[in-house]
Structure 1
Amino acid sequence: MKKVKKDTNCISCLFFIFIILGCYQPDNKNNDNEEKNNLCNTYQSITRHGITWSFDKEYTAGQFVNGDYWVVGPVTIISITNFYHNYGFSPVQGQDGSMINPGTDTSQGYDKSLTSYKIELNKSYPNGLPISNTNPLVLEINQSLVSSVSWLYDSSADTEPGCPAFNNGTKTPRPALKAASVLTSLAFIPPSGSFRPPYSGADKTVKYNETQIQADILKNLDPSGISQIPDSADMEADFERVWLDHVNDYLGSYVHPSENIPVKNGYGQYMSMKIGVAFLLLNLDYTKLPGFTSKKTLLNEMIQLGIDLTGIADNGGNWPSNGGHNMGRKIAIIFAGAMLNDTHMKSAGTWTTSFQEDDSTFYVSQADVDRTHTALWKPDLRYCTAVPYESSDIGLPEWGIRHLVKPLSDNKHWDATYRDINGSGYAGFVLAAQIMGFKSLWNHDALFDYEDRWWSLTGGTHNEQQIDDFTQSMWNRFRNDYKPVWIK
């Protein structure tokens, strides 16, 4: 009996030593620390990008490889605050909301000014009252808490500085959110170098680590002669924060936080263009770019984006064809899968998930010709006249605003509504996919051939839509190096 007791104590001692060593962080308990050190410590509060979660006691916590925090739960939260509201405005109940394991429909619990708001989803008010010592929020194991910061205002003319323009339809800023951060509660300390599990859904399995990265997939293209190469630090800052994208379809643009997704109006076209720029930049030879050091930070950020988007898709999320809202997500998923050699993410080309760029592009068939020669044909005529498909168009790579679900809206007219927005939004990520060899994984050749066609007819400028100089220069320099190139 004594021997058994002695062994048990030794095991306990070893476990205790493991915890202490695993959580060691030299002389640093500043919980405003934003360094991505992946080490852990004990904290009574944690701050990430200006949002602070305060606890009832100290808990073991640390950072994932992208800098977001994990905590060994369950954890009792007694306040959620932020440093953003310093301009005479104060949030009211229904602003600065938080969600746990957010879903993928059109509902959200962040900001009550939007019709998509559901009070029961806002976890910042347990029992309908503000979080406090006597009314805490318990974040259980395997839960992600997404806390947000709302833009505050009294009217469209009286707002916090930097507030986006108001949307005429909602009479609110677009987006309505300024910032958001994620805190993940786990059962155990994750291995150093781990990626954060997706914030959407209930599965918080820590599956991926930076030791799995197959960075040789990235090319080192000669940047000589390329115009307006973006600064790597600026691009890293653009993807450092969580890209909150779980609210379905166009309503998502209203809760794409301005500080997290720094594009005009939280609009999908601009998100897609920025994603394309990031992937193109990662494929340049940094050693030939003064001031550029390592690809590691941006690489990890783009992998994390792909992991998060996968979590959304796995929980029923979609990015259906709808104007300019939902393009550019698929490449991040395939990229993360390729980098981590993850079969599930690499197979995104076979998923039933809707991706706008795929749902909108097709090869003209006899059915399309027939459809546009019937009385049922109802093309979108907001900015152009109706042009039907003819037998001579069969096999042509083409685009339709909602082709997969509403082919009667297709219109061959070159100025068909949103054709210019989609063509410009696709270019960067389509080229990046070609460069990294993702076309076969993508499993939708019509997209690639259509973008070649679009570029051949526009040179990157279509109506008022213009590709940024960097993407345009990259396309002109490298597109012909990756065959085949569609030519009519």
Structure 2
Amino acid sequence: MEKINLFVIFIIGIALTSCEKENFIPENQTRLAKVLPTEVYGYSIEQHGITWSFASEQQYGQFANGDYWVVGPVKIINISNTYHNEGFTPSKKQDGSMINPGTNSNQGYDGTLNSYNSVLNVNYPNDQIISRDNVLLLGVNESLVTSVSWLYNSETDKETGTPRFNRGTNTPRPVLRTAAILTCLSEAPPEGSFRPPYCGSDKSIKYNKNKIKMSLLKNLSPSNITSIPDVVQIERQFQRVWLDHVYQSFGAYLHPSENMRHYGRDLAKEIGDAALILNLDFSSLPGSPSKDVLLYEFIQLGIDFAGIADNGGSWPPNGGFHMGRKWPILFAGIILEDDHMKNVGNWSTVFQEDAQTFYISQAEIDITNSNSWNPDSRINNPQPYSQLNLDLPEWGIRHATQPTRDALNWDATYRHINGVANSGFVLAAHIMEQTPTWNHQPLFDYMDRWWELTNGTYTSQRTTPFTKSMWEEYRSTYTPIWVSE
């Protein structure tokens, strides 16, 4: 690029920033506008209220889902955000950033949690704040994940909107408000590329929207479906990155509240609703919206989940925390015709929805009628399995890891939280004819059993009205259907 004087560079920088903002509908709306061209240069990038500033002008652009890439390596001289209320200032252990985050229980985003490791927070190179004289060098093939914390002095003296405090940690749940990702590449990716996963060091550009097989999505009639979500609202649920790489239940404390729900049940419900609405005929919806925005976001979610799994992450059975992560991976693999993600049914990765469902065998009968049986202590009058239950599709809170905790009780703790959470994506797998590819039939038969006995509702646990309407309208279309004898 031809050198020009500093004043002209400054004017161009202002113009580019203005141009960038014009390419987006205002932040309180959710539909992505046209993605920036790859010829854009600038001194900073802003997304979702987070700004990364550079020591020199850098080439940058956007992936298919709207997240940013920059050609590097790049020297970052400032990271800022527009979120904090007057009178609240983050500590050195808040508003953290991580590079290529891992999948264990350690994190560098927020020091109010015991999982915090200051070494992982890259916002303080040389143990000093980032500045022009103390730059953060973001290298090629690195993803910078920058977070914004909720700030508070006490449970009653806190920023507006801070989530409810948890008694176990004495912190908000979650502690993060939002997060965004900047990916550093050696060269501009092809237009329409999807962002590589934020986990791990592999930032190769593998997927592009020109590979999408739209014909694999159904166009079911919505004419008899009630409570169809507003497309723009459901796009917003998947617009920002879902940080899900921190292992086990305390990862939920790091689910940024403006990006995603903190609880697995609610995340899985949203995944189910999105998967189902993508299989409706959008031309018959109000305003005839395009599927593209939600589709790109949902594919990106699957790519990110695959990146977590590929770097050693998993979602083991644990109450209501981890369900729903398998389907976005399989969906992305199907739509992009990617053999690796399509083969998720054969991965060694543990997925909660599979690890909790099984057919009762003689082994389970023997366990629950032995001295080793140690059923979940929250179950009243736990019932063992009997020969009458042989081959019954069943659910157990931690079946794959602790089968001694299984029990026949229909009111077993978390049974129905998982039932309502799994319904949407299970139906989507039926609709897209992917139950063989999923490769765990007990899940699908158990969910038919659960619906036979609950019709989608058990006490306070309910499927979303949209999923319920879709199940009642379309489940019978896709056979076989498990029924009790």
What interval of TM-score do these two structures reach, taking the shorter chain for normalisation? over 0.9
User: Residue 336 of structure 1 corresponds to which residue in structure 2?
Assistant: 332
SS class of match (1:182): strand
User: Residue 196 of structure 2 corresponds to which residue in structure 1?
Assistant: 197
Deviation of the 1:88 alpha carbon = 2.2
TM-score, normalization: structure 2? 0.94
SS class of match (1:55): strand
Verify the 8 A CA contact 2:103 2:313 in the aligned structure 1: yes
Residue deviations 1:380-434 (CA, integer Å, cap 9, x gap): 0314221000011111000000001100000110011110111111001100111
SS class of match (1:332): helix
Q: What is the correspondence of 1:287-326 to structure 2 with a 5 Å cutoff?
A: 287-326=283-322
Question: Aligned partner of 1:434: which letter?
Answer: H
Distance 1:38 1:452 in 2: 46
| Selected match of 1:449 from 445, 459, 469 | 445
User: Residue 323 of structure 2 corresponds to which residue in structure 1?
Assistant: 327
SS class of match (1:298): helix
Residue deviations 1:312-357 (CA, integer Å, cap 9, x gap): 0000000000000000000000000001000000000000000000
Q: What is the correspondence of 1:126-275 to structure 2 with a 5 Å cutoff?
A: 126-261=125-260, 263=261, 266-275=262-271
Question: Aligned partner of 1:184: which letter?
Answer: T
Verify the 8 A CA contact 1:165 1:174 in the aligned structure 2: yes
Percent identity (aligned): 55
Aligned-pair Cα RMSD in Å: 1.5
| Selected match of 2:361 from 358, 365, 376 | 365
Verify the 8 A CA contact 2:398 2:406 in the aligned structure 1: yes
User: Residue 385 of structure 1 corresponds to which residue in structure 2?
Assistant: 381
SS class of match (1:158): coil
Structure 1: 5+ residue runs without aligned partners? 1-11, 14-23
| Selected match of 2:399 from 399, 403, 412 | 403
User: Residue 20 of structure 1 corresponds to which residue in structure 2?
Assistant: none
SS class of match (2:153): strand
User: Residue 435 of structure 1 corresponds to which residue in structure 2?
Assistant: 431
Q: Which range moved further: 195-204 or 35-44? A: 35-44
TM-score, normalization: structure 1? 0.93
Question: Aligned partner of 2:350: which letter?
Answer: S
Q: Which range moved further: 28-37 or 331-340? A: 28-37
Question: Aligned partner of 1:388: which letter?
Answer: P
User: Residue 37 of structure 1 corresponds to which residue in structure 2?
Assistant: 35
SS class of match (2:41): strand
Verify the 8 A CA contact 1:38 1:193 in the aligned structure 2: no
| Selected match of 1:464 from 453, 456, 460 | 460
Verify the 8 A CA contact 1:101 1:145 in the aligned structure 2: yes
* Matched residues, number: 463
User: Residue 9 of structure 1 corresponds to which residue in structure 2?
Assistant: none
Distance 1:138 1:73 in 2: 9
Question: Aligned partner of 1:39: which letter?
Answer: P
Question: Aligned partner of 1:430: which letter?
Answer: V
SS class of match (2:274): helix
Question: Aligned partner of 1:96: which letter?
Answer: D
Verify the 8 A CA contact 1:38 1:65 in the aligned structure 2: no
Question: Aligned partner of 2:238: which letter?
Answer: F
Question: Aligned partner of 2:234: which letter?
Answer: M
Verify the 8 A CA contact 1:384 1:417 in the aligned structure 2: no
Deviation of the 1:286 alpha carbon = 1.0
Deviation of the 1:290 alpha carbon = 1.2
User: Residue 18 of structure 1 corresponds to which residue in structure 2?
Assistant: none
Question: Is 1:414 matched with 2:410?
Answer: yes
| Selected match of 2:344 from 343, 348, 352 | 348
